[in-house]
Amino acid sequence: MDRMLYIAMNGAKQNMLAQTANTNNLANVSTTGFRADFAGFRSMPVFGLGHPTRAYAMAERPGIDLNPGGLNTTGNPLDIAVDGDGYIAVQAKDGSEAFTRAGNLRLTSTGLLINASGVPVMGDAGPISLPPANAVEIAKDGTVSIIPQGQPATDIQVVGRIKLVNPPASEIYKGNDGLLRLKSGEIPVANANVNLVSGALEMSNVNIAEALVNMINSAREFELHVKLMKTADEHAEREMQFVRLG
């Protein structure tokens, strides 16, 4: 059997994986704070006797797109977005600390501030916990102040500060739960220069035009690989015709 068939099959299979990554980006075009994934291909030549004339392809996710998404002003005081560079530190479901750009916060019955993924926002020492309050306000530097329940509107108390971080872009990767972490595994320190905007949400940074063109491109490449597989099949049939007796 001509080995061209296996290379074409490998191309088609890796192409389908890249299509999956691309469709994931498209599906998350309205998700708050979503960072688009890049799908890359790497060439894997086969080394054996003679020259490495066969090269397989491998699809991988080399990184994520850290460009800012659009800003949607909602007017909701608990919606926060990072103005410029920076991230909001959260506590992931497994207890480790991660960071994200999604700031669609709400209060739970126990006083935790959680975002839409259900992860609580970190303060200076652990997740921020608020006493029962009539109104909550989040300032530009992350300071959370409340009007406690049962107090007049002039009694504003500062109850904590959201931890905001700004690690270098080259160290960031996206974990399996969609939260961002550092490749070295260390926890980033709080950065006082990160500013928040209250009443706004950062939308997904998926570039729709690019995602659709990627889809068209991948679809045509897939057709090309399938065509190669058909060609390999025809070659094999011709070979059989030569050696068929009678």
Partner 1 sequence: MAQALWVGKTGLEAQQNRLSVISNNLANASTTGFKRDRILFEDLLYQNVKQAGGQTSQDTELPSGLSLGTGVQTVATQKLHQQGNVLQTQNPYDIAIQGFGFFQVMHPNGSISYSRNGEFQINGQGQIVTSSGYPVQPAITVPPNAMSVSIGKDGTVSITLPGQPELNQIGQIQLATFQNPSGLTPVGENLFLESAASGAPQIGVPGTNGLGTLHQGSLEGSNVNVVEELVSMIETQRAYEMNSKAIATMDQMLQYLNNNT
Binding to partner 1 in span 224-243, by CB under 8 A: 224, 227
Span from 1-9, 119-127, 142-150, 223-231 in contact with partner 1 (CB under 8 A): 223-231
Binding to partner 1 in span 173-212, by CB under 8 A: 207, 209-210
CA atoms within a 13 Å half-sphere pointing along the CA-CB vector of 134: 11
Number of residues that bind partner 1 (CB under 8 A): 11
Task: Show the tokens assigned to 192.
Answer: 């006082």
Least distance to partner 1, CB of residue 216, Å? 5
Least distance to partner 1, CB of residue 227, Å? 6
Give the Cα separation of 242 and 168 in Å (integer).
63
Residue 180 or 206 with smaller CB distance to partner 1: 206
DSSP characters over 178-191: S-EEETT-PPPPB-
Crossing angle for the helix pair 4-27 and 208-243, nearest 10 degrees?
Answer: 160
Q: Does 156 bind partner 1 (CB under 8 A)?
A: no
From 58, 213, 233, 234, residue interacting with partner 1 (rule: CB under 8 A): 213
Give the sign of the dihedral formed by CA 138, CA 142, CA 143, CA 149. positive
| Cβ within 8 Å of residue 176, ≥6 positions away | none
Least distance to partner 1, CB of residue 212, Å? 8
Which residues in this chain contact partner 1 in the complex, by CB under 8 A? 207, 209-210, 213, 216-217, 220-221, 223-224, 227
